[in-house]
Structure 1
Amino acid sequence: MFHINELVVYPSQGVGRVERIESQEIGGATAEFYIVRILSNNVTLMVPVTNATNVGLRSVCNMKTGMEIFESLKDRSDFTGYTGQNWNRRYREYSEKLKSGDLGDVAYVLKELFLIGNDKELSFGERRLLEQAMSLVSMELAFALSRDQEEIREEIEEMFADVIADTENVEKSE
């Protein structure tokens, strides 16, 4: 059960605040809903209280988990390199991970896309996924670590500065 003013994460939308819990009658039955305002875009969502877990609504991670996620971004030992896998298959896989709402999965997508971008130019869809993953990870880490989202974003970009620089050099030479 979430409480009013509690920060929560809604999969693929990001961090939101429970503004209220209200009852509504739908089809003759009364149901309770969390009214959640997503902080990044001011969208309001109605999430049935009884279905909140099924849709992936969860609390913002704690500081310890936030630090672990931050460290996992630095660790490149699990990256096997760009394998030439069909970008469409990779896009679907990454989209599913972003929809899962699991911060570890979202951070994995972020890291993979940065590192793949070192080996080849990312497609438009991959760049969009990269931006979505960056937004989701940096916002949740900002709340978990009590820091500014832009600072977190800059630190993540610095972790991959070699990758970003290589990609930019390739684009300039073309």
Structure 2
Amino acid sequence: MFSVNDLVVYPAQGVGKIEKVESQDIGGCSTNLYVIRILNNNVMVMVPVHNATNVGLRPLCTPDQGEAMLEYIQDRSDFTGYTGQNWNRRYREYSEKLKSENLQDVAYVLKELILIGKDKELSFGERRLLEQALHLITTELAFCLSSTPADIRTRIYSFFDDILKPAEEESVAE
């Protein structure tokens, strides 16, 4: 499915590069493994080739999919507003979505947390999830759109100028 030097996405970890495919003896059986270096932290991950799809390993999104994801993040029509749902329940739900191989699930968490932050201060855990979602999205989109994570972050923040600007101005005034 994948070859050496392919860029792939490992759920909840982000973009990685397949360094090699090697065979190891595990429990008396020879198993082929993808050896993947996660680019943001140089962590090495080994994924059995036969199990790659089950763990959610996937290729980077295409440029068209990347642009569609940015449009999805910008679109607020599916946001119903802060419902007062228990933060712990939201945290568990969002944590699961960040582990998904579906990039739209990650984008959903990012958009929801930014918009919820408009109505209430996010808890420490929610802020961490927001940063994780932002990192996962910006890193993948930077690769697929031939950009930088900082440029993608700026583009995403521009979608929420009406929400994020006052908070930035308040922190500058302090």
- Choose 152-161 or 28-37, whichever is displaced more: 152-161
1:46-65 to structure 2, matched below 5 A, reads 46-65=46-65
Which whole-Å deviations, capped at 9, do the CAs of 1:15-67 have from their partners, x for residues lacking one?
A: 00001000001111110000000011111100000100000000000011101
User: How many Å separate the matches in 2 of 1:21 and 1:87?
Assistant: 42
Bigger CA drift: 112-121 or 142-151?
142-151
**Structure 1: runs of 5+ lacking an equivalent:** none
> Hey, what's the Cα distance between the residues in 1 that align with 2:60 and 2:172?
39
Q: How many residues align?
A: 174
- SS at the partner of 1:100? coil
For residue 77 of structure 1, give the secondary structure of its aligned residue in structure 2: coil
Deviation of the 1:101 alpha carbon? 2.2
Q: Is the 8 A contact 1:121 1:167 kept in 2?
A: no
Query: Which residue does 1:20 correspond to in 2?
Result: 20
1:158, CA displacement in angstroms? 1.8
Q: Write the distance in 2 (CA, Å) between the matches of 1:145 and 1:107.
A: 16
Are 1:140 and 2:134 matched, yes or no?
Answer: no
**Take 2:140 and 2:173, find their aligned partners in 1: how far apart are those partners?**
36
1:82 alignment partner in structure 2: 82
**Gap regions ≥5 residues in structure 2:** none
The within-5 A match list for 1:43-122 is 43-122=43-122
Distance change in 2, residues 1:123/1:131 (3 Å): same
Aligned to 1:124: 124
**Partners of 1:166 and 1:107 in 2: CA distance:** 23
Query: Offset of 1:172 from its aligned partner?
Result: 8.1
CA distance in 2, matches of 1:135, 1:9: 13
TM-score (norm 1): 0.95
